[in-house]
Every structure is written in C-alpha cells, then in structure tokens.
Structure 1
Amino acid sequence: MTNPSPPYASVLVPDMSSSESSASDSPPPSSPEASVQQGPPSLERIVVHFVAAKRSLTSTSHLWRANELVTRSRALIEEIAVLNARNTFARHGVDDQLDILHAIRDGVAESGDLAGDESKTTVASLDAANDRLQVTLKKLQQTVVDSSLQRAVASAEGTEGLEDHSREDASKRGDPADRRTNKTLYDFIDENSHTDLLSSLHALIDSYNDAKDTLNAGLGTFDDALRTIADTLQQGIITSSGPQTKRTLYDSLTPAPTITQLFRGMEEHAAEMATLFQNLVSHYDLCVTALKHTDGGGEAAKRAMQQAGATLMKPVPGAEEESLYQKTIPEPMSDEERIEMLRVLEGDASQVEDVSSEIKDHSDGMEAQYEQLSRHALEARANQKALRTVLDQLLDIKTALPAHIHASRDFHDTWQSIRSGIADRTEDLAGLHVTFDEFLASYASLLREVDRRKAAEGQMRRLAAQAQKELDKLFAADGAAREEFTREVGGSLPGDIWPGAREAGVRWEVRSAER
C-alpha cells in the first residue's frame, strides 16, 4: 500500500501474498457491471464502488482490536518482566536449597550404604566361621563312638536298664536301629552352647535389619519430598506450556520468537494496518468526491446506503460523507480532472477487497503473536505459583530434617553396637570350632590309646597264662614228689616229727589285680 499523491494517483496497491490467503470482510460488489468497462464509469457503478468502499471501512474494528492488543501487550510485558525477575531469584534460591538437601540425603544414604558394606563383610566372616563349625559338627555327627568304649561305659556304670530305656526313647524318636545302640561324638557335646550362640546372632542380625528398614523408611520419606518438589517444578512448566507448545520436526528448525520480537512484530502489524486503513479512507473520500461531481450522486448514494442496511451507516473518521447529502456546491473540476479521477477510482476499486483482506491478515497475525505473548505470561505465573508451592514444601522438609539426621546417627550407633556383638559371637563360634576340632583330635588319640592298652593287656594275659602254665607244672611235679616221699619214708617217720610232711603243696595262681 502507498499513500495517495495528488491529484489522483492510485491509493490502493494490492498485496498479492495476502489477498490469496484470506477472505474479505464483505462480499465483492454484486453489480452486473463489476467487470472492467471501457470509458468513465456510470453513476450506478460509482455507487457500487462507494458502497464497497463504505463496507471496507468496517475494518476499523481490526484497528480498535489492534490498539487493544498493543495496550494489553505492554501490560503483559511489564508483568512478565517482574515475574521473571522474581522467579529467577527464587529459582536460584530453590536450586541452592535443593543442592543442600540432596547432599544431606546422600550423606544419610552413604551412612546406610557404608554400614551395608560393613555388614556384608561381617556376615561373610560370620558365615565362614559358621561353615567351618558346621563341617566339624557334621564330622562329630558322623563319628560313631567305638562299641567297646560304649560297653565299657555301660558295664562301668551298671546302666543296662537305662540302656533299655534309652532304646525305648530312641524308638519313639524314630532313630534307625544302629543309632539306638551306637552313640556319636555329637552326643557328648553341649548342644545348647551352639544353638544359644546362633540364636543370639540371629537376634543381632534381626536388630540390624530393623534399624536398616527404619533408616530406609526415613530415606523414602526424604526422597518422596524431593520428588514432590521436582514434580511441582515440572508441573509448573507443563501447566504453563500446555498442549499448544508441542513442537514438531519443522518447528525445531526455527527458534521461537522472543518477547521483544513478538511485541515489535505486533507494532509492525498495527502500523501496517493503520497505513492500509488510511488508504481505504482515502479511496472512500475519492468515491464521495466522484459522487459529488456526478448528477444525482448524492441521492443515489443515500438510497444505496439505506438498502445496504444500518451496519454501513456508522460515521467514518475523516470521511466527507455528510457533505454528500447536503446541498453544497463542490469545488470546481475540469472534465479532464474528472475523467482522471474516475480512472483512478475504477482502478482502485478492484483492490479494495485485497486491502481489506490484508488488514485482516495483519489482525490475525497480531492475535497469534498476542497468544504467544500470553503463553509467556501464563508460564511466568505458573512458575511463580509452582515456586511458592515449592517454598512451602521446603519449609516442611526443613521441619523434618533434624529427624532424618538424628535417624542417621542412631543407625550408625546401633550398627556399631551390633557389629561389635557379631564380632564377639563370631569369635565364640571360632572358639567352639577349635574346641570341637580338639575333641575330634582327642578322640582319635583315645582310639589309639585304647588299641595300645588292649595290646598291652593282651601281652600281659599271654605272659600270665604262660606263667600259670609253668606254675601248674611245678605244682604237679611238687605233688608227685611229695607222694613219692611219703611212700618211701612215710611209714618210718613219726607223725609229730614234721607236721607238714604229709601236707599238700601250695598252689599258685596268676590273675589280674582288682582295681
């Protein structure tokens, strides 16, 4: 569009790019003479151009809307600037607080992780000691006491009746037949010492698990609070953005306009709209002038306006319509000037619709830019609301923070106590293992000692039997000699000379000494 230059230059220059992309605010003139004609236009055609020009001036609503949008945009920009400054300051503070809270949370979790690693090492040592003990206990259970030892014990204690009773108890327990009479080394140890030690260890481990569960529960609450804050901040961004901000592959190629670019674009649209509308007004004035210099133009225009309806009867700023209906004498104009004026009028009339469409396109562009600017304001408001909520949540965490720190210290102290108790009982398990191993080794020595004693006793029995045999031979020889002596001299010797002359000899026996 260009401003008119006197005397009658064309005031409307169509924008081809916009005239094809948008519709006009009003339909084109319905006159049968709408096509281009040769020669000056008739009165009827001038009236048609006048009505179309009058109708195009309804685009003034777009100008009022443009002024409203520019005014609102200034207020939005001020609000956005204030909110963004506040939000930036608050966000820095929130980020600092979150960094501190995450550091505290990691510290609490680290104490639990450290105790967990130590517990794995401690339990591994405990399991190793218990495994060694279990191997020894299994050997004790598999080592059957030698039957000769069991018979010796039974005969020494005179517990044959008790043995029968124990057999009955064994049968009630469902033990195999060989277990009813044969004892193992496991039967000679104090089983309670082992079971009590294991029960104590299980109690310590349960105490550790309870303490760890309590710490994890506190960490879970801490994590939930931090997650809620993160969700609140994210929710503020999502709420402000909304589904309209979903970008496509093509959107990502062009960066979103800044607030400054949006406002400058709106100002440019408004200025262009004002220029285009001024050209429409100038074209309308030219139509009025043409009607003034045409016989019957005023009356024809008045009838056309009445037929067009009340929507076109609104006054037009800067227009000279009222003078058209008054009996005034127009300024003098030569025939050449009138012909030139009508030629320019005819040429501009075909462009009125395009110019009106271009004004509407500029108006739509302003609406779109204002919508983007409004989304910036919504984002700033949503962020402010989210930050206010986060500040309240941070206050709640601050209130609960001492309890989390205290729980971490309690867990550390509890673990140190449990760790010491487990270490002591691990040493006790190792002591039991040593004791039972020594028992196994002593039993092996005992069997060797039994064999040695059996061998010694057998040797002594053999020597005693041999000696008894020799003594018996000596006793028999002594008896035979006594009898021979009695036969030879028994009748010649008086009986009182040696009372022992007729006595039998002394019999010697070799037997074990009583214990």
Structure 2
Amino acid sequence: MSSPADAFAPRPPSPEPQATPLESLVSHLLASKRSLSSVNHVLRANELVTSTRKSLEINVITTARSGFLRSGIDAQVQVLEQVRTGSESVARHGNAEFAAFLKTLDEAEQRLKGTLRTLRETFVDAGLRPEGEEKKNLLDFVDESGVETVLATINKSVGDAASQHKDFAKTNEQFAEEVLGVQNLMLQHRSRLFEDSAEHVEKNSALPHILTNMEENAREMANNLESLVKHYDLCVSAVKHTEGGGDAAQRIAGSLPEGVDVGESSLNASPEPITEDERQDMIEIIEKDASQVEEVVTEIRERIAEMEGQEQTLIRYIDACTEEHINTNAAFKLLKGIGHRLPAFIGQSQDFLMRWEEEKSTLAEHMEELEALREFYDGYLIAYDNLLIEIGRRGELETKVKKIIQDAMNKVNRLYQDDSEARKTFKDEQGDFLPVDIWPGMASGAVQYAIAPVGDSMGRVPEVPRIVIEQAIDRVNRRV
C-alpha cells in the first residue's frame, strides 16, 4: 500500500485532471473505516504473543523439573528392576527345586504304594497258618499306621512349602505391579495428545521458533494496521479537501474502533490548504491503495488465524508437558512408597531363601523315610519269598531224614528179629539147666527201639505246594 507521503511528492505537469466525485471518496472513506476493525486482530495478536511467551517461560521451568525428576526416577527404576528380576529368579529357582522335590516324592510314594499293593495282593500260603483260619495277606501281619503317619506329615510339609512359594510369588507380583505402575506413569506422556502436538510442532518448526513466528506475524499485522490507518487519514484529508466534504468527513470519521490511534483534533481541525495538483495526487494514491485494502485486511485475518492455530498447538503441547509433569510427580510419589517398602521386600526374599532351605531339608528327610519304609516292605516281601524257599529246603531235609530213619529202622527191625530168634534158641537149649533166679533178665524178650521227633509240633515243616516254592525262587532270582 502506498505511503501517505506519496500524496505530497512533486509531480510532472499533467493534463487538466478530472475531478473525483465526493461520493467516490466517501465510499473509500467508509471502506477504510471498516478496515480499521482489524485493530481487534492486532490487539489479539499482541495478547497471543504475551500469553505464549509467558506460557513457554513457565513450561521451560516445568519441563526442566520433569526432566530432572525423570532422570532420577529412571535410575531408581533400573535398580528396582534389578531387585525385581533377582527376586523373581530366586522364586523361579525355588519353584524348580520344589517341583523336582514333588516329582521325586511322588515317585517314592508311588513305589511305596506299589510295594504295599503287592503285599496286599500276596496271600500267606494256607500251609503256614492254623487249619480253618481265614485267608490272610502279608499286609495283615504289619502295622500300616506308620505309612499313613509319614504320608500325612509329608502332605503337611508339602502344603506348607506350597503356601510359602505362593506367598512369595504374590509378594513378587505386588512388587512388580508397583514398579510397573511407576513405568506406566513415566510412559503416559507419550499419549496420542502429546504425540499429535509434538508432531504438529515438528512439522511447522522447532518449538522456540513458533514464538518468533508469532512475533513476526504480530509485527506484520501492526504494520498493516498502520498502513490502513494512514490510508484512512488520507481518505479523511481528501474528503475534507473536497468541496462539501467537511461535514461528511466529521460525520463518518466519528466513533472509530477502540485502539485505533487517530487524533480527534486532526479530525475537527480545518484542512491545510493544498494545490489542486497535490489534491489530485492524493486522490490517485487513494484510488490505488483502495484496491489493496481488502487484501491487507485478508492478510491480517490469515495471520491471526495462523497465530490462533499455533496457540492451539502450543496449548496441546504445554498441556501434554503439564500432564507429563503431573505423571512424573505421581511416579515419584509411588517410587518413594516403594523405597520405604523395599527393605521389607528384600527381607522377605531372604526369609524365603532361609525357610525354603529348611523345607528342603525337611522334605529330604521325608523322602528318606519313604525310601526306608519302601525298603522295609520290599525286604518283608523278599523275606517271605525266602521263607517259602527255606520251607522247601527244610522239607527236602526232612524227607532225607525220614528216609535215613526208615532205613535205620529197617535194619534195627532185622536185628530185633535176629535177636529174638537167638534168644529163643538159647532158651530152648540152655533154659532147662539154668536156675530162673540166676539172672532175672535171662528170660526177657529182646529190647525194641523207636525213633521219634523231639520237641513240639510247631517245628514241623508245613506242607507248601512245590509250585509255590518254585514261584518264590523265580521271584528272588529276578530281583538279583
């Protein structure tokens, strides 16, 4: 837009100028007056620059505090993560050992129950028991209460250990949730709101340059407003220098928008005399500038619209930074709470290790008890098979003894017959000559001999089928 000074610049001689009608000048004056309403945009631009500068200054402090806190929190979270992973490693190792113990205990229990089942299914041969007695198995001759007591004790120990592992896992889970809560608060500043605003700022320029851009827009808008004011002053002057325009100028120029710096004295003062050439130059400048008034007003509107958009971007960005600061403070408070509970948590981890070592020792003792019981009942089962084998051996020996006795008795009986015949012969030949009382035993018969078992009948070898003994021998051989 042309400068008002152009109206007074010297001009070369020109043909007789054609007078501009007063109506045309009044129209330009009215349009110029309307354009001065742009002062509101200029005032708004100044407000935006001021508020933006203040907000950025506050945000710099807030961001610096957040950054300082975040760096400290990040370092502490790393320490907490090390504590958490260490505690979880202890829990995993303990759980693996516990699972291995449970498997070993279960296998030992199953072996013991298998042995007991075999004892229950193995019936004592009837030949070993009194006649008419009800059939009994090997388990009927031993007390099972010891097994039940050991198994009950083991179940209690396993339950205590499982409860201990469960409590420790719950403690680890609670600690992990607290640490995760801090991490989540630290990550919440990466919300969509923050990302969108940060992306918008990045697309336009670096954040500090936005304020510079807004200040530049405000200056340009002020310059444009100044040009509009000068154009308005020129229109007023032209109308006043036109015949019949004084009253119109005063009437139109009144009640200007607030903030427009146009002196009231200049409006009411009489115009300074100018030449016709100067007036024509003034009118030409007005005509030229009038075509640019709307463009200048549009530019002011575009610049204020751009500034309003930049303000919204900054508001979103600062809101995100404020939210980050709030979350960081909340994370710091959580971290302080965790820090107060950290010694207790570490103590629980150490307590778990000590108690688990005790439980392992107890479970190992129970495992030895199970194995001892199994070995005892296995030995009982093996001993029964060996008892059957021993019965077979004794039966064979008894058979041999009976055969020897039978052979001996046959020989004794033959000797007895021979002795009886010899006595009879002696009596027949010599009896008439010898007095009867010379030897009282002379006429007695031959002495008879008998072989009989000594002791009670309990020592007798029972009658056990040979097949039963052979099966026992086979089982013993398979165990070797």
TM tier relative to shorter chain: 0.7 to 0.9
Bigger shift: residues 117-126 or 404-413: 117-126
Aligned-residue offset at 1:390: 2.8
Equivalent in 136, 142, 147 of residue 182 of structure 1: 136
Structure 1: distance between partners of 2:253 and 2:3 = 27
Matched, 1:317 2:261: yes
- Does the CA-based 8 Å contact 1:204-1:418 persist in structure 2? yes
Three-state SS of the structure 1 residue aligned to 2:400 is: helix
Equivalent in 252, 258, 270 of residue 206 of structure 2: 258
Partner residue in 2 for 1:49 = 28
Equivalences for 1:253-292 in 2 at 5 Å?
A: 255=203, 257-292=205-240
* TM-score normalized by the length of structure 1: 0.75
- Does the CA-based 8 Å contact 2:7-2:285 persist in structure 1? no
Structure 1: distance between partners of 2:299 and 2:218 = 12
Partner residue in 2 for 1:216 = 169
Partner residue in 2 for 1:198 = 151
CA RMSD of the aligned region, Å?
3.5
Partner residue in 1 for 2:462 = none
C-alpha change, 1:323 and 1:406, in structure 2 (3 Å) is closer
Structure 1: distance between partners of 2:68 and 2:274 = 71
Partner residue in 1 for 2:295 = 354
Structure 2 gaps of 5+ residues are: 10-17, 457-480
Aligned-residue offset at 1:194: 2.6
Three-state SS of the structure 1 residue aligned to 2:381 is: helix
Structure 2: distance between partners of 1:134 and 1:232 = 56
Structure 2: distance between partners of 1:287 and 1:253 = 43
Aligned-residue offset at 1:67: 1.2
Three-state SS of the structure 2 residue aligned to 1:350 is: helix
Aligned-residue offset at 1:503: 5.0
Three-state SS of the structure 2 residue aligned to 1:50 is: helix
Structure 1: distance between partners of 2:336 and 2:195 = 33
1:485-514, Cα deviation, whole Å (9 max, x unpaired):
888998998866776676554444343233
Equivalences for 1:113-512 in 2 at 5 Å?
A: 113-149=92-128, 151=129, 154=130, 163=133, 167=134, 181-184=135-138, 186-235=139-188, 237=189, 243=193, 246=196, 255=203, 257-302=205-250, 312=256, 316-318=260-262, 323-324=266-267, 326=269, 328-335=270-277, 337-469=278-410, 471=412, 503-512=444-453
Structure 1: distance between partners of 2:3 and 2:451 = 158
C-alpha change, 1:350 and 1:279, in structure 2 (3 Å) is same
Partner residue in 2 for 1:106 = 85
Aligned-residue offset at 1:269: 0.9
* TM-score normalized by the length of structure 2: 0.80
Structure 1 gaps of 5+ residues are: 10-38, 168-180
- Does the CA-based 8 Å contact 2:6-2:285 persist in structure 1? no
Structure 1: distance between partners of 2:417 and 2:3 = 172
- Does the CA-based 8 Å contact 2:241-2:271 persist in structure 1? no
Aligned residues: 448
C-alpha change, 1:455 and 1:40, in structure 2 (3 Å) is farther
Partner residue in 2 for 1:170 = none
Aligned-residue offset at 1:414: 0.7
C-alpha change, 1:256 and 1:270, in structure 2 (3 Å) is closer
Aligned-residue offset at 1:57: 0.3
1:25-64, Cα deviation, whole Å (9 max, x unpaired):
xxxxxxxxxxxxxx76532222121111101001111111
Structure 1: distance between partners of 2:267 and 2:61 = 53
Structure 1: distance between partners of 2:151 and 2:118 = 19
Aligned-residue offset at 1:329: 4.0
Aligned-residue offset at 1:89: 1.5
Structure 2: distance between partners of 1:54 and 1:136 = 114
C-alpha change, 1:118 and 1:414, in structure 2 (3 Å) is same
Aligned-residue offset at 1:103: 2.2
C-alpha change, 1:109 and 1:245, in structure 2 (3 Å) is closer
1:197-254, Cα deviation, whole Å (9 max, x unpaired):
222222222222222223223223322322332333344x26xx67485479xx6896
Partner residue in 1 for 2:478 = none
Structure 1: distance between partners of 2:86 and 2:326 = 31
Partner residue in 2 for 1:23 = none
Structure 1: distance between partners of 2:328 and 2:3 = 52
Paired residue type of 2:88: A
Aligned-residue offset at 1:430: 2.7
Structure 2: distance between partners of 1:189 and 1:313 = 116
Aligned-residue offset at 1:451: 0.6
Structure 1: distance between partners of 2:2 and 2:379 = 116
Structure 1: distance between partners of 2:439 and 2:399 = 44
Structure 2: distance between partners of 1:315 and 1:88 = 43
Structure 2: distance between partners of 1:374 and 1:304 = 41
Aligned-residue offset at 1:416: 1.1
Partner residue in 2 for 1:14 = none
